[in-house]
């Protein structure tokens, strides 16, 4: 069958850098750090006492007060970003849109962690009587956010959540892309949300030695590719992307940001938390994305890397890029926006995908900040876009995300 073409017609973002797409993008280009001391709980006794938190967010701006308590924060975030994206795409009260042909495919690596923590803690410290909140399960389950979004707008197309740790929302985007090009839907709202800045989230990642412990300088703690990187910085928030079949978008006069070129997936099959040391899974997933897009490797101009600021991960990814792109690797701009946003876990892929989309649309590459000391293990010819944004023609951008368990997903956005 002839596959449909898929374009991006709307965006929404809620990040530690800004609570909408415009503010998020502006902060990326200015090289702003979204990191600071944790305010959502008393982190005094934790090894890591900082994170990239969402600030000045009031769920009541989006949701009726009586409904807020029925949802975990990750669902609040999902509704907020989908509201922005749906409005941006001109979908509200649009007779040209068939609600039976609009789906929601969402990603979350953890889901309602705060809800789970609070309910189990209350039971453990009580008298043993099972007094659980009736909304405990509906608040916690990772699939509930896309359910809320579909009910909010009345969209009755495909509806589910992808869970692949930090690759979750990139997997969601790829699934949404495939559903549309296979003519299973006209429009998919896709992306992801995460709200893991709490005692269980910070304590759990501390226990597996994944987080930076640079408590004396939180704003410089996320330092991808730096010799002294010591772990990732936990972030929270979400993002939404409206994917739409090209002819459907043209027929209703929709604004088009870019086209989705293709997507790839792979597994490291190596370790529960560590990447393959030679970047084998990362290499395979980028090759798969390029093959799916039927795109020569030298048409990629920018890679938004997974780049978490971990000793093993950053190096493995850089090796994979050189192996996939050969000499063209040195013509690429490469950057890790996690240096500013921190790591949004299951929502990382979508907010980094939005950065890639806007790089393609605006022909400007956001930087990697917090670089202080070169690491001799990295290929010195790679252009890691340190400190300042770079203006250049971006014909196509590749966005990488890798998750615990060895899950890898990459998506390509190109000029329409």
Catalytic residue numbers read 166, 306, 343
Which residue, among 395, 385, 375, has the nearest Cα to 319 in the 3D structure?
Answer: 375
DSSP code string of 308-370: -S-HHHHHHHHHHHHHHHGGGGGTSEEE-THHHH-B-GGGHHHHHHHHHHHHHHHTEEPPB--
Pull the structure tokens for residue 402: 């890798």
User: From CA 185, how far away is CA 192, in angstroms rounded?
Assistant: 19
- Rg of the chain (C-alpha set): 20
In order of 30, 177, 213, 281, 340, the CA distances from 26 in angstroms are: 6, 27, 28, 33, 12
Tokens 């970003």 appear where?
81
H helices of 154-231, in order, are 168-181, 199-207
User: From CA 31, how far away is CA 367, in angstroms rounded?
Assistant: 7
Tokens 């040391």 appear where?
277
């Amino acid at each position: 069958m002839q596959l449909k073409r898929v374009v991006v017609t709307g965006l929404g973002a809620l990040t530690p850098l800004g609570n909408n797409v415009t503010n998020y993008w502006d902060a990326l280009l200015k090289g702003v750090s979204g990191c600071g001391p944790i305010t959502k709980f008393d982190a005094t006794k934790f090894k890591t006492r900082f994170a990239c938190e969402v600030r000045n967010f009031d769920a009541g701006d989006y949701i009726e007060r009586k409904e807020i308590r029925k949802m975990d924060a990750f669902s609040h975030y999902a509704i907020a970003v989908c509201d922005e994206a749906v409005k941006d795409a001109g979908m509200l009260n649009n007779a040209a849109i068939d609600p039976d042909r609009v789906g929601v495919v969402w990603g979350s690596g953890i889901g309602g962690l705060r809800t789970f923590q609070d309910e189990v803690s209350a039971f453990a410290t009580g008298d043993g009587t099972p007094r659980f909140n009736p909304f405990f399960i509906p608040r916690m389950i990772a699939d509930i956010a896309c359910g809320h979004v579909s009910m909010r707008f009345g969209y009755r197309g495909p509806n589910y959540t992808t869970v692949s740790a930090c690759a979750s929302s990139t997997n969601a985007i790829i699934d949404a892309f495939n559903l549309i090009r296979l003519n299973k839907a006209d429009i998919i709202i896709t992306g992801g949300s995460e709200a893991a800045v709490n005692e269980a989230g910070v304590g759990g990642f501390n226990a597996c030695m994944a987080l930076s412990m640079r408590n004396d300088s939180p704003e410089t703690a996320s330092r991808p590719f730096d010799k002294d990187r010591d772990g990732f910085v936990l972030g929270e928030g979400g993002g939404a992307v409206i994917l739409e079949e090209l002819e459907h978008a043209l027929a209703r006069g929709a604004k088009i940001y870019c086209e989705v070129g293709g997507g790839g997936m792979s597994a490291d099959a190596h370790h529960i938390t560590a990447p393959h040391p030679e970047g084998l899974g990362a290499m395979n997933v980028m090759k798969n994305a390029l093959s799916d897009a039927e795109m020569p490797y030298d048409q990629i101009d920018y890679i938004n890397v997974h780049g978490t600021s971990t000793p093993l991960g950053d190096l493995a990814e850089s090796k994979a890029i050189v192996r996939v792109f050969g000499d063209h690797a040195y013509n690429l701009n490469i950057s890790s926006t996690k240096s500013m946003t921190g790591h949004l876990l299951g929502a990382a892929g979508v907010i980094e995908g939005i950065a890639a989309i806007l790089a393609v649309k605006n022909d400007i590459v956001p930087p990697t900040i917090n670089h202080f000391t070169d690491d001799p293990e990295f290929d010195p010819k790679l252009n890691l876009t340190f400190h300042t944004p770079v203006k250049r023609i971006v014909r196509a951008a590749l966005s990488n995300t890798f998750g615990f368990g060895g899950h890898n997903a990459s998506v390509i956005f190109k000029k329409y």
